[in-house]
Structure 1
């Protein structure tokens, strides 16, 4: 068996030292169909715009 890194007396030291911050109220995320729509827009629509922009800029560099 290998050695244990540090004693278990110090376990949880950093988490115990950090100040407690209350959770903030967040806007609820869409569910069901609306969530799928959001995923589609994030993955394909807006990403496609950036890819098109990048390609057009890089191609215009050569011409």
Structure 2
């Protein structure tokens, strides 16, 4: 069974592509994230998934 392309050309395009530096990513502070999660789950009584205003809570 013939192969598709030769192994000598493997990685040619990736090697020619210029390196783009990645941007620095910052996550939320854990205390703030936990406070937001508590408010969503217990104060607003939201369940995982999409929550529309006035939607009944599933049990």
Instruction: Give the helix-richer structure, 1 or 2.
Output: 1
Higher relative contact order (CA 8 A, sep 6+): 2
